[in-house]
Structure 1
Amino acid sequence: MTAEPLSATRPRNRRQLIVEAAGRLFSERGYHAASMEEIATGVGISAAALYRHFPNKYALFAECAHTMADRLVAALDELPRDAPPADVFTALIRVTAAHRASGGVYRWEARYLDRDDRRLLRAKFARVVGRATEAVRRHEDPAAERPDAGRPDSEPSAAASATELADAARQLRVVAALGAIGSITMHRTSIAQRRLEDLLSTCALRVANAGRRPVRGSGRAVELPALPVARSRRAEILAAAVPLFARDGFANVTNGQIAEAVGIAPSALYRHYPGKVDILAAACLQAAGLLTQAVDRALHGVTEPRDALIALAETYVAYSFEHTDLTSVAEAEFGGLPAELQRPLVHAQREHIAVWEQQLRLARPDLDPRQTRVLVHAGFGVVVEAGRKLRWRDSPEHRAAVTELVVAALGV
């Protein structure tokens, strides 16, 4: 009997290859848009062979989500318990950069996991956050002890309350630093591995240590454009659809649900929008338009690059807190739009990023264009993760705290 050619031999790591290919596709296209057939094609196998490894798409998706979290936990487990924050962040950067193409699964698509998988994934990420937070705490005060150590539970201590507040602030800074690291999964800027590690490690450390020199704000109240009043049926449909998309995900929302929220028959939707995807495109365009207006207002009369960056940070943070549903829909669901509907949004995104890049290059001439772009996206990542940590509870204190973290990420 003649042996099969080497090229026909099943690779021992086929399951890993499948998970890698699936992670990339889920990240790029979204959970619902990606198909098992596309994933199989990406690995170079038949759909039937794929089903021998995973019984359905959800099982494959869940493994993709858990695999990255497991890698992050494993990378930290390999470090000494007393590893400094720089080593902790560098280990996380290396794992994230190595699997950059599949990182979008965590930013938005993880909401499609069932309750048990979400709970397990949160526990894994909590281990990562806890380990990084402990490293930062130890670095800040190696000899620190709880001020109420040894006190009876019946004697609450003001010092203990202060410690709890300090711990919460420290954890917010660490979560924001991890958001800066994770931001590299959301763009495709090409940069050498060592330069990326150095840049993001320094950025994460700045964020984790923020607060020792409070940022001087612009001194001007952020004036955001308000959502337009829904005076037409088309506007009413859009206003009703956005919170549904934000809560349940675009793919899970039906035309019937949108129509019910507006108080019309499902067939009446088609008089105003050709399809559900056109409502999504209108939401994304509305988000882009509001942000463009807000930036124009923020930069009016500002001449110094550092002041411009602070104004941009204040505005983006305020916008994210005030229009949380709209911004989350625009960012999470963008990949599900057809190419022709994406084009104007891509243009708007590039224009917005270019404004930040221009001011950051002026404020920090030590940066080249690629480093600049990485740091701008790191700032955006800070807002997303810090906002989530604060459950998007809007207050002047929360806005100021997150703005300070963004400015720290930029290094200005």
Structure 2
Amino acid sequence: MTTGSTAATRPRNRKQVIVEAAGQVFSERGYHAASMEEIAAVVGTSAAALYRHFPNKYALFAECANVIVDKLVAVVDEWPPEAALTDVLVALTRVTVTHRASGGLYRWEARYLQREDRRQLRTKFAHVVGRVTELVRREYPRSDESLRAVAALGAIGSITSHRTSIAQRRIEELLLASALGVVTSDPATAAGSARLVELPVQPVPRTRRAEILTAAIPLFARDGFANVTNAQIAQAVGLAPSAIYRHYPGKVDILVAACLQAAGLLAQAVDRSLRQATDPRQAVVALAAAYVAYCFEHNALNSVAEAEVAGLPPELQRPVILAQREHIAVWEQQLRRVRPELDSRQTRLLVHAGFGVVVEAGRALRWQDAPGHRDAVTALVTGALTV
């Protein structure tokens, strides 16, 4: 009797259940904000029970970070070299959508991995990119196959970064069309799109408060908010650590200020660019060009705003999330003028796919603002939107 009860409460796949639950919690809350107790509550067990499978939170996190990438590697390795690109993208999309709830930690939270674990994760993802690149080169040969491949994967992976609710089959159809739009795009279609962008300049820090913010942003971007101390920020400005509190109640308030500054700069860029658009399609291209230019110009600021919002207390999240929603609403309005067959949720999904393209393509280009990079990424974004 006791044996049967134990078997019922400790299924053979308990470790897998823990990893899936932890991946979702880490993805939603961030590595540092998540706790073993919170993960245990989702699983329906105690924190002590988690430690029977994982020695500490980091070991569990490292396993979660590899789950979706390992499954993507398995997918590309299952297909023979002569496989059709569409078939492989369908399989990759299905895996990503299935693990949507936990996949978000790969994009931003993986920076909290230790160096060797991070290197191994990048190697695995590079293998997936390399396999997709081979297929793109065979079916749509040009000089930028690798960039188009990684951008297509960015479009697919974008589903892990938001919660827009649509039937799974429709999600897969939209993401596949978006990824194919990326791999078939031509940078020449966005040549000269920079003329549509009038990017605002990041404010010159003229007060001590502004100097603190300016110093903190690159530290947050490089090391992650949780790993940066007030002492490091103060040192960068030439202050005693205690002096920070004269200008900000706490470190989290510096982060909120950074997120709101990012939202303000992006809103200005969008407003200025849309004024120059003369038709609906050009308005979408202008939006894409403005967003791409902003990400290249203010990369550290944008990465902080994107990566750290989940870790903010709910009351501090609200103004940041509201600003993000207002930005997406502008995209939704403009894109639906070009593609009226889409409903609001489908439009939002494609907008996020475009954002995913910028993240992965920008990383692949190391955010180097070389001639043609902004135009190339803008073309990939409009490809993802299939306009």
Return the match for 1:362 from 322, 334, 337. Answer: 337
Q: Determine the C-alpha separation between the residues in 1 that align with 2:2 and 2:311.
A: 48
Matched-pair contact (CA < 8 Å) for 2:331–2:351: yes
Q: 1:396 aligns with which of 358, 371, 384?
A: 371
d(CA) in 2 for partners of 1:378 and 1:352? 15
Aligned counterpart, 1:287: 262
- Kept in 2, the 8 Å contact 1:218–1:307? The answer is no
In the TM superposition, residue 4 of structure 1 has moved relative to its aligned partner by 3.9
Distance 2:140 2:145 in 1: 10
Q: Tell me the residue number matched to 1:272.
A: 247
Cα deviation, residue 336, structure 1: 1.0
- Compare relative contact order (CA 8 Å, sep 6+) and give the higher one, 1 or 2: 2
Deviations 1:153-188 (A, max 9, x none): xxxxxxxxxxxxx55x11001100000000000111
Tell me the residue number matched to 2:77: 77
Say if 1:295 and 1:2 are closer, same or farther in 2 by CA, change over 3 A: closer
Letter in 1 for 2:18: I
Larger radius of gyration: 1
CA contact (8 A) 2:194 2:375 kept: no
Q: Indicate the residue corresponding to 1:372 in structure 2.
A: 347
Flag the 1:40–1:196 CA change in 2: closer, same or farther, 3 A.
same
Structure 2 matches for 1:179-328, cutoff 5 A? 179-211=154-186, 214-215=189-190, 217-218=192-193, 220-328=195-303
CA 204–2 in structure 1, closer or farther in 2 if over 3 Å, else same: closer
Unaligned runs of 5+ in 1: 142-165
Change over 3 Å in CA distance of 1:87–1:255 after alignment to 2 = same
Quick one: distance in 2 between partners of 1:2 and 1:346? 50
Q: Which residue of 1 aligns with 2:104?
A: 104
- CA shift for structure 1 position 104: 1.5
TM-score normalised over the length of structure 1: 0.91
Q: Tell me, yes or no, if the aligned pair for 2:221 and 2:300 is still in contact at 8 Å.
A: yes
Q: Which deviates the most, 219-228 or 30-39?
A: 219-228
Instruction: Give the equivalent residue in structure 2 for 1:63.
Output: 63
**1:177 maps to 2:160:** no
> Counterpart of 2:215 in 1: which secondary structure?
helix
Post-superposition Cα deviations, 1:335-380, rounded to whole Å, max 9, x if no partner, equal 1111111111111111110111111111011222222111111101
Given that 2:361 and 2:377 are in contact with CA atoms closer than 8 Å, whether structure 1 keeps it comes out as yes
1:94 to 1:219, Cα distance in 2 relative to 1, 3 A: closer
Give the C-alpha shift of residue 99 in structure 1. Answer: 0.6
CA distance in 1, matches of 2:196, 2:326: 24
The answer as to 2:383 corresponding to 1:408 is yes
The residue number in structure 2 matching 1:25 is: 25
Partner letter of residue 9 of structure 2? T
Aligned to 1:124: 124
Deviation track 1:364-397 (CA, whole Å, cap 9, x = no partner) reads 1122222211111110110010000000001231
Check whether the contact 1:240–1:258 (CA below 8 A) recurs between aligned residues: yes
Q: Name the CA shift for 1:232/1:212 in 2 (closer, same or farther; >3 Å).
A: closer
Aligned length: 387
The alignment's TM-score, normalised by the length of structure 2, stands at 0.97
Shift of 1:7: 8.0
Identity %: 71
Verify the 8 A CA contact 1:84 1:136 in the aligned structure 2.
Answer: no
Amino acid at match of 1:196: I
Matches of 1:246 and 1:219, distance apart in 2:
26
Shift of 1:5: 3.6
**Cα RMSD for the two superposed structures:** 1.6
Aligned partners of 1:379 and 1:406 also within 8 Å: yes
For residue 12 of structure 1, what is the amino acid of its counterpart? R
**In structure 2, the residue corresponding to 1:396 is in which secondary structure?**
coil
Which residue pairs with 1:10 in the alignment? 10
2:91 match:
91
Counterpart residue type for residue 201 of structure 1: L
Cα gap change, 1:315/1:37 in structure 2, threshold over 3 Å: closer, same or farther? same
Contact kept? 1:217, 1:310, Cα under 8 Å: no
Q: 1:329 to 1:39 in 2, by over 3 A?
A: same
Quick one: distance in 2 between partners of 1:300 and 1:29?
A: 38
Tell me, in whole angstroms, the C-alpha distance in 1 between the residues paired with 2:355 and 2:251: 28
1:232 partner letter: T
Determine the structure 1 residue equivalent to 2:39.
39
Name the CA distance, whole Å, in 2 between partners of 1:219 and 1:98. Answer: 37
The Cα shift of 1:198 comes to 1.5
Contact 1:174 1:208 in 2 (8 A): yes
